[in-house]
A and B are shown apart, each in its own frame.
Chain A
Amino acid sequence: MKLLKRAPLRTLAALALFALAMPQTALAIGTEAGTTISNTASVSYSLGAVSQRPVESSPSGNSVAGTGNGTATTFLVDNKVNLVTAELVAAATQAGPGQTNTVFAFNVSNTGNTVQDYTVVASNFAVGDTVNLGGLLTDDMDVTITAVAVDTSGDNAYGAGDTTTAGNSAVISNLSPSTAGTDSNITVFVLATVPISAVDGSVAVVGLNATTFDAGGGGITSSNAGDVWDTTTVQVVFADGAGSDDVALNGDYSARGAYVAAAALLTVTKSADVISDPFTTTGNPKAIPGAVIEYTVEINNSGTAAADSVILTDVLPATLGAPVTITGGTSSAYNSTTNTVTIDFGTIGAGAATATATIRAVIQ
């Protein structure tokens, strides 16, 4: 081994020249692992004025004159394993309570220089775990992960054309490296069921960890740092960074995502008022037999999801007669056998929307 200090760059001009010399396109295409890089130098010379046959180089030294008598000095480009897992969009997936096959999308990129397989495993995080998706979200519910799908259709949207594997893991096969200049990343969908008990704004943090495998599925291990460079074999080095839940240089990369429950949150308020009685013509009527009572029912949705098919059921007291008038809702009905009023409100929108109905009946 020769010890030497790196020679400083001679002039600023040389530096400037170097900066100009770096072509933008050269970094986009890289050399794939397993590529042999060969180099042969040759020397021409003369003895006096007589030109001699050139001599080519060899790794150990060649002096046999003539083209083709040298041996190329070669080495193989090694396998730099590098990958990144990230959320496809930095936003939580909104899902209603009880919703199945709700999708959070991750993206796995092969940033190394070899075609690789990856096993991706999805997980549900514990209460208190956090993720930052345009704002900090703290886990306070659990989703059930039902399947993991690989975006084989390549449209970044989950659909029938994608390869779906039940359970919490899937395999990405033959993902090209970024150095090949082709598509080097693929989207992975985590499919989950939100619990029916989820309340509006509940957060479930989920994660996806990708582990590198040889193309074809074989396990892959990094060469030890102590291994000397072997110019004749493709050696493996893990060059990946630390993801959300894995350490650097382990061939894994993880990221977190989240589901946020978008539920309707209905508040029902009912008040009663006396509209008239048969004896008080001016002033304040009282609740005496023959008086008309008006019930006002207010339904307020303060949740983040619209409530559909909202039906109010109100059993009137037996001491009241059949309703005189019913207002509000899209339709209403009265069942005299059960003394029940039903009012169909249809959809009540999200964000403090209010629907009101009134029922008037006479005290018997």
Chain B
Amino acid sequence: MKRITLMTLCSMVLLLSVPVTGFAQEKGHIELKSIAEIELETTDDKGERVWVRSPAEKAFPGDEIIFTTTYTNISEERADNVAITNPIPEQITYRADSAEGQGAVVTFSVDGGRTFDKPENLRVTGEDGRERPARPSEYTHIRWLLQGALPPGREGTVSFRGIIK
């Protein structure tokens, strides 16, 4: 009996020691990097007011956070129909018109990411039970659909801003 217990223990250790970089680690063709930053207003050497983007402030309710996602085609192949989706964190209110991405068509979801559309087409059911246009604060997801293919080695960024609730 003792031996079996030992065997079991051994196999458990074996299981645990399977590296996380196992069979599930199939490398994709695109690398995705996401950062969160805050903008600080400051004055440059010419005395002009500029915005310095850095993680050098504290984050409080009411502060604006910039979420930036960098995508890079790290493969030797051309990627088509590249769509980057970002769920808006629940403690963040999306700031209207802040989603940016060069060469990308931006659409939003108000139903938890099931469907996406342009702001003017988004509708929600209000408290009175009637449909009305959705407010940017009600967006749940943002999607950037890149126009055209992403050639090998090409890198780009998409971003949006939100306010901490």
Interface of A toward B, CB cutoff 8 Å: 1-6, 9-10, 14, 17-18, 20-23, 26-27, 29-31, 35, 37-49, 51-66, 69-70, 73-78, 80, 113, 179, 223, 228-229, 231, 235, 237, 239
Contact = CB atoms under 8 A, between A and B. Distances in A.
B25 A45 contact: no
B9 interface: no
Contacts of A38: 89
Interface in B14-71: 24-36, 38-39, 44, 50-62, 65, 67, 69-71
Contacts of B67: 39, 41, 73
Interface residues of B, number: 61
B136 A78 contact: no
A56 B80 CA distance: 17
Nearest to B53: A2
B140 to A, nearest CB: 13
Secondary structure call for the B interface: strand
Interface string B65-88: 101011110100111111111110
Contacts of A35: 91
B109 interface: no
B32 A41 contact: yes
Given A41-B86, A62-B31, A63-B31, A46 B92 contact: no
Contact of B50 (A4, A9, A26): A4
B154 interface: no
Shortest 10 CB-CB distances between A and B: which pairs? A65-B28, A30-B61, A57-B34, A61-B33, A63-B31, A78-B58, A57-B32, A41-B86, A55-B28, A80-B60
Contacts of B74: 63
Nearest to A72: B34
Given A14-B97, A17-B97, A40-B87, A77 B52 contact: no
B32 A43 contact: yes
Nearest to A50: B80
Nearest to A235: B58
A43 B30 contact: yes
A335 B26 CA distance: 116
Interface of B: 24-36, 38-39, 44, 50-62, 65, 67, 69-72, 74, 77-87, 89, 91-93, 95-97, 135-137, 150, 158, 164-165
Given A45-B83, A62-B31, A1 B78 contact: no
19 contacts: A1-B53, A2-B53, A18-B136, A30-B62, A45-B29, A45-B80, A45-B83, A46-B79, A49-B80, A56-B32, A59-B34, A60-B33, A63-B28, A75-B36, A75-B65, A77-B61, A78-B60, A237-B60, A239-B60
A77 B164 contact: yes
B84 A42 contact: yes
Contacts of B158: 41
Q: Which of A10, A27, A44, A49 gathers the greatest number of chain B CB atoms within 10 Å?
A: A44
Contacts of B95: 18
B156 to A, nearest CB: 11
Could you say which of B54, B79, B87, B89 has the most chain A C-beta atoms within 10 Å of its C-beta?
A: B89
Nearest to B96: A18
B150 A45 contact: yes
B33 A20 contact: no
Contacts of B38: 229
Contacts of A63: 27-32, 74
Contacts of A49: 80
B69 to A, nearest CB: 4
A3 B165 CA distance: 27
Given A26-B137, A57-B32, A77-B91, A31 B24 contact: no
A44 B51 CA distance: 32
B123 to A, nearest CB: 15
B141 to A, nearest CB: 10
Nearest to A56: B32
A55 B32 contact: yes
A62 B72 CA distance: 10
B137 A37 contact: no
A1 B56 CA distance: 10
Contacts of B91: 31, 35, 37, 77
